[in-house]
Chains A and B, each alone.
Chain A
C-alpha cells in the first residue's frame, strides 16, 4: 500500500455523510467537494515511456474588495500576498490507471504543479545532467505494480497536497533546496523567511495548477480528478467550473522557477 493509497481516507466519508444526515444541513456542508476533470486521459503509448497532462483550477475573477484587502495585507507584510491561499482550498487528486497490455507493468505518477507565482519544474534545477540528480516531484513517483489488463486506483490525499503547496513556497519564495523541502516534513512550519521578509502561513499560496506525468513501461492510461473543498466565501471556484467563459476565470501565468546561479 503506497502513501497515495486511499485506505486512510474512505472512513471519513461516511462520518461526513452522517454529520450531514444528522441535521447539520447545507450550512455545515458548505465546503462539500467539487470534482474537476481534465478534458482527456493521459495515455502512455508503447515506446514513449511517459505522458503528461496539465489541469488549472477554474478560479473566478478576484472581486474589488478582495483585491483591496489583499493589497493592504501585502503592504503591511512587504511581500506578495496570493489571491488563492493555501488555507482557502483543500485539494486532493484521485486517479485510476489502467494497464492496457496483457503483461504486468510498473507505472509511476509524478505530481508537480504551480501556484499563482511559480511552477515547479524539477529538471530546471539540473545544470549538468551527468553530474546532478533531478530533484523529486512535489508528490508521487512511487512505483506501482499493475497486473496485465487491470486497473489500480489511488489518491494524493489532502495532507499531501497541502504539504506540496508549502514545499513549492519553500522552494520558490523561500529559496530552499528542493531536496530539503521535499524530503523533510514541513507541515508544522508557520512562516517562511524570504529575502529579509517573513511570509506568514496565512499568506502561503495554494497550488492552482496540476502537472501530472505518468512514467510507464507498458501501454497505460491514467484518468484523474481534482477534488476541491473550497472554504472561501464566496467560493473561489467558478460556479460553472471548467465550462465557465474564459473571461470570467482568472488567468494565472506562473513562471517556471529557476534557482539563482551559484
Chain B
C-alpha cells in the first residue's frame, strides 16, 4: 500500500511556514549574549591624514539586564596602513581595544534601534605615528571612549539577530585621535 505522501508533505510545509511568527514577531531572547562583527574604521583629522582606513574585527559579550539595557565588554582589532612622510613607508599598525560596553535600545517589530557607548583601553602596535607626533615617545596605550548606535534585525529564531552599527571613538593619549567605524554583526542571545 502506498503511503499518502502528498498530504504529509503539505502538512510539513504548513507547519514550517505557519505560526504566530508569520503574523507577529516573536519577542527577542533576553539574557547573556555574544556578538561577532566585521567592519571598517578610519581616523579623522590628522589621524586620517597619516593613516588609511582599515578592517576592524570585534567580539562582544555580556548580558541583557533588561530588554532595553545591555552591559558587557568588547575586544576589537583594527589594522591600518600608516601614511607618514617617508621613511618609513608602507608600514602597517594594529590597534587592539578592550572596553566595557553599555547599550540602550528599544524594539519596533523585528527591528531594534539602539545607542551604545564604551570606555576602555587601546594599544597601538608600533610607534610609526610618532614621526608625526600623534604618538608620544614610548607611548603605546591610550584610554578610549566610544559612542555609537545602530539597528538590529531579529531573525525568526528568537536567539539570533544581525545588525548594522556605527561608532565614533576618541583616543585621548594619542593626540586625541578620533575614528569613525562601521560594522555588520551577528548576535546570539541565550
Contact = CB atoms under 8 A, between A and B. Distances in A.
Note whether A and B form a binding pair.
yes
B137 interface: yes
Contact of B87 (A20, A23, A96): A96
7 contacts: A26-B123, A32-B93, A35-B131, A223-B86, A225-B131, A238-B138, A243-B137
Interface of B: 55, 57, 77, 79, 86-94, 96, 123, 125-128, 130-131, 137-138
A237 B55 CA distance: 30
Interface of A: 6, 10, 13-14, 16-18, 20-21, 23, 25-26, 29, 32-35, 37, 94-96, 151, 153, 155, 223-225, 227, 238-244
A101 B58 CA distance: 50
B87 A153 contact: yes
B92 A14 contact: yes
A94 B87 contact: yes
Given A34-B126, A35-B130, A94-B88, A25 B96 contact: yes
A232 B166 CA distance: 40
A55 to B, nearest CB: 13
A223 B90 CA distance: 16
B130 to A, nearest CB: 7
A13 B91 contact: yes
Given A227-B88, A242-B137, A17 B130 contact: no
A77 to B, nearest CB: 35
A246 B94 CA distance: 30
A153 B94 CA distance: 24
Nearest to B123: A26
B77 A96 contact: no
Most chain-A Cβ atoms within 10 A of its Cβ — which of B55, B57, B86? B86
B140 to A, nearest CB: 8
